[in-house]
Structure 1
Amino acid sequence: MSNRIAFLGCGSMNEAVMTGMLEAGTEPADVVATVRRAERAAELAERHHGITAIAGEEEPENNKQAATGSDVVILGVKPVGIADLAREISGSLSPKTIVISVAAGVSIAQLEAALPAGQPVIRTMPNTPAKLGRGVVSVSPGTNCTAEQLQLAKDILKGAGTVVEVPEEQVDALSAISGSGPAYAFYLAEAMAAAGVELGLDPDLSLLLARETVAGAGLMLAEPGADPTALRKAVTSPKGTTERAIATFDERGMPAIIAEGARAAAARAAEITAQLS
């Protein structure tokens, strides 16, 4: 039995989740997305053939229209707009409609307060590799979400990648690792490419080397049972070039720098939650 899924707001994160789900076999006819501009709606409809995309500038009640009759509604607007969106669609929801938020910093309590009493709610934190089906999506069930509803959400979201269940109090920490993590990998590739240029490589060649190396290493990490420590050690021959590089990274405190950055990201997530409340 298929489920109608509405993506309210279809920016980069919601589209990434939607893309992963469609690639995994979700029927396009079961998917409806809302956006503000007609141009964006046409772009989505062309890219994801068979879905319904409704623009707010053409249909002012597009969010209510999409939510009506949907089994799952995924809220993907900016965090500051989540509560208003939840209130907007409240009258269009079935009591059994599962409302999923992908917005950073919006707590379950904040979402439940903006929805009808008893509405099933799930807070999630996906990351952008979801569009390749290689993302990580956390799920944290709300007060009124049953085990069966949580499992349905997991089954739907698994098309976007690995689904992990975490208590809400761990979401900020998770977002600092998997939510922001893709940017860390891209940052590493940028730094590697710049280092290659400094060593005399052509910029285009250096970027190619960095990009393909980081991507290839990621595929190795994706193998079942892969252990990053074991993989690193396998490349790090005693007294070799890689060992010298790793030793330099350790001397400069790179592990501590990464940990500090993750703490800063988690702290910022907590700040956003406080601001929104």
Structure 2
Amino acid sequence: MSEQEQINYNRIAEAIDYIKTHFKEQPDLDAVAAKLHLSPFHFQRLFTDWAGVSPKKFLQYTSIQYAKNILKDNQATLFDAAYETGLSGTGRLHDLFIKIEGMTPGEFKNGGVNLFINYSYAETPFGNILVASTPKGICYMAFADDEQQALIDLQHHFPKAHFKQMLDIIQQNALYIFAHDWSKLHQIKLHLRGTDFQLKVWETLLKIPLGQLSTYGTIAEKIKNPNASRAVGTAIGSNPVAFLIPCHRVIQATGIFGGYMWGPTRKTAIIGWEAAKAQTVK
């Protein structure tokens, strides 16, 4: 690391520490930049290059994580969460949750209390899988080497939802993809919950053609955030719908397949299977 890079690193570390310490004051760009003796424009560009997100977005992530911890207390109200986080009111808390979490703060606090989820298990060429759906679409899919643990993981995602083991038409349409019936792809509906950034990454994954691969850097460029390769990797690792959202099609720039939530062997098998399938559909 050059001397200038070390200086910039120290500046960003100081900025991150300041935001984490003073987030209840909701400092604006000018205030944080002043602490580093930089112009707001220079600081914005430097922070985004190093952190992968803007200072404002980092402040939002810090604030909402704190608010979520407060809301986990059954006695805490939305007003309590807004006040303790330094937000001006529940309206700002609501807007922040919608933007970052894709749900209202009330929905987060309830943990999916009004959500009804059907789930079932199915055999695929790559092992047993658990697939879950709401009336809106597939909300979760994971390889289930241990069915009991897979169900626990699903329930962890939606801690207060109502679950019923039942194969419905939404799941059936999704499972056609393993039966080689690619004409049914347009019938698959997804019901996803995530941050704006995560949803952009997952949407980009859906655009990777069958039998082709991409890299973390390429995905970052496609979402117009070329310095966010690490953040892209985190979002890919948080993908709640295995195979349908093809995180397995993303590899390292060196050509190494890299890790996979359900094991590198399974990732290699899926990539090979899709490559063969792509040849037959040409």
TM-score by length of 2: 0.23
TM-score by length of 1: 0.24
Greater RCO, CA 8 A, separation 6+: 1
